[in-house]
Chain A
Amino acid sequence: MYNLQFRAGNALAALLALSACDQKVATPNTQYGANPVLPAPQQYLLPPMSVPPAVGWNQGQTPVVSASLKIRAFATGFEHPRMVYTLPNGDVLVVESNGPKAPIYRPKDYVEGQVQALAGTNAHGGNRITLLRDTKGSGVPDVRTIFIDHLNSPFGIVLVGSDLYVADTDAILRFSYVTGQTSITSQGVALTDLPAGPIDHHWTKSLTASPDGSKLYVGVGSNSNITENGIGVEVGRAAIWEVDRQTGLKRIYAAGLRNPIGVAFEPQTGKLWAIANERDEIGPNLVPDYLTSVRDGGFYGWPYSYYGQHVDVRVQPQRPDLVATAISPDYALSSHVAPLGMAFSQASSLPARYRSGVLIAEHGSWDRSPLNGYKVVYVPFQAGRPSGPPEDVVTGFLTQDQEKVQGRPVGLAFDHTGALLIADDVGDTVWRVSTAPMKQPRPAS
């Protein structure tokens, strides 16, 4: 009996040591770019986490931008805005959405639900798209209508000609759009179904169209962190699908991307790029989320491995044949930043130094302590490839002491003037970032 007590004492001591552990975590800048430093994976009793409660913005408060930029609220009072999209006539669409109710399969699911509620990610989503119109060009919209209502956890949106595509969590819907329309009441036509419930762990479906408009590309996230819901529910997931716009026929364009929550074509080269959220719970610096060009037929590792051939022992049985083919992504953004939105900036009116790369919204997560992300960064590109470390563009979503969350950035788009719009799903606000008038005096308008 003493022996058993001794064992228990040791185990408990180990538990306390682990949870109180104040390990030094390498800073995010060791994990930027093509060759991030990847520490050895750990298996935790309590994974390191930090849950800053969501408090929203006080009147007049805004995120922080550098002196060359200015930021103000474009519109407020949304129901969990996730995506912004600008129509050719300058109208701005705001997708208000959240995931379907997550089933509780394990006690952990319940605990995580409570944690997420505290972090502000469980708020009710509007399941609709709101239209904003700035008829006076004042930078503040004066028309606001419900554009499309009664959607099912929508996320991605793209207009091709007069066809507006909305990616609900379970299908791509097509709506006929006439320029200037402020509301669509007709039922959308399903172009194709997408992998959805009943689990629907990563529920967002990102969407973009090929430059010639013939194909749609849909990012479909995995149905688990790392196959804890069984490999059977991962069919068609953790992949980017290519959908023929005329027929709705689809195929997997690339696989093994755990949650490819942003897809976009790089304007200079016309190549498809994606941002993806990598796996959790093997360390504060594992696994770095990434930005990558997407190869047709490419396999990017999930679930079996990450960054090429770094095998994840949590996945059994393993697939050495697939691991051997796994592509290492192009550009690490560092760990647990949770990139959720991307916009190539060539067409923007931001200062010239922000106009030849991609802006990425890092939603931040509670899976890491210290926190990482909670900002919008700029990754410069040269000749169609990333050419430097990410730079902070919009910060201040966390309070200065990092104790509370005021907002979290998600979808990015440029309005018709080239200013950056940011959907903030905790602040329930759309922010507008434009060039500050200070250095270049603006002509009176």
Chain B
Amino acid sequence: MDRNFSTNELMDRASSKRTIALISRGVLTLRPPPEPLSRSGSPLHPRLIGLGAPLLIAALATDLAYANSLLFQWENFSIWLLAGGLLLAALAGLAVLLDIVLHRITGIHWVRFSGFSVAALLSLLNALVHSRDAYTAVVPEGLALSAIVSVILVIIGWRGWSVSARQTTNPIISEEAQ
């Protein structure tokens, strides 16, 4: 059984005997406390990464459609998807800086940050490949790059689009039945 507790509930319950007992038995686990929301609001960058990443992943689908059909319009879809994804990636990069400056995040999760950065840089290469004319704009390098970027984004994005060192979602205590 999973239960969510607010911070206040957690503070109240922390002193209760039952809670201490559950924690000591490993049934209740405490996640790190949430970052305090700064007055300037919640971080901006996850929203931008969350908009851009699906575009880059969609380019894999349109690349596959091109490779199977040889219809040039799929290649045009791919390059516009890549261009849109790159624009949002650039904005997301600026947003990370802004989030740091405004103390919306207090630390960077470097593995996640690097993953997203690599995906963006590979997509930049991919946009250059996709700016070739006709078949070699997609096959084989373009398709391969789209696939690598998609795998990176799905793996990292599975746990959200933030690069913050701490979770920005609501605090969760998972209480598991034995």
A interface list, Cβ under 8 A from B: 1, 4-5, 7-8, 11-12, 15, 43-46, 105-108, 224-230, 281, 313-317
Contacts and interface: CB of A to CB of B under 8 A. Distances in A.
Contact of B115 (A1, A12, A46, A108): A1
B66 to A, nearest CB: 10
B118 interface: yes
Q: Which 10 A-B pairs have the closest CB atoms?
A: A228-B133, A314-B134, A45-B128, A316-B135, A230-B72, A8-B118, A108-B131, A228-B134, A226-B133, A225-B133
B83 interface: yes
A11 B134 contact: no
Given A45-B128, A46-B128, A8 B121 contact: yes
A316 B72 CA distance: 10
Contacts of B80: 106-107
B122 interface: yes
Given A1-B115, A4-B115, A230-B72, A313 B136 contact: yes
B79 interface: yes
Interface string B118-132: 100110010111011
Q: Which one of B114, B127, B128, B131 has the highest number of Cβ atoms from chain A below 10 Å of its Cβ?
A: B131
Interface residues of B, number: 30
A272 B6 CA distance: 87
A107 B118 contact: no
A316 B134 contact: yes
A15 B137 contact: no
A361 to B, nearest CB: 26
A230 B71 contact: yes
17 contacts: A5-B114, A11-B122, A11-B125, A15-B125, A43-B132, A43-B141, A44-B132, A45-B125, A106-B76, A106-B80, A107-B79, A107-B127, A108-B79, A227-B72, A227-B134, A281-B133, A314-B136
Q: For the complex, would chain A's binding face be called helix, strand, loop or mixed by DSSP majority? A: loop
Given A4-B118, A230-B72, A317-B70, 14 more contacts: A11-B121, A12-B125, A43-B132, A105-B76, A106-B80, A108-B79, A227-B72, A228-B72, A229-B72, A230-B71, A313-B136, A314-B132, A314-B135, A316-B134
A106 B79 CA distance: 7
A3 to B, nearest CB: 10
Contacts of A11: 121-122, 125
Given A5-B118, A46-B128, A108-B79, A230 B133 contact: no
Contacts of B127: 107
Nearest to B133: A228
A229 B137 CA distance: 12
Contacts of A227: 72, 133-134
A8 B122 contact: yes
A405 to B, nearest CB: 25
Contacts of A43: 132, 136, 141
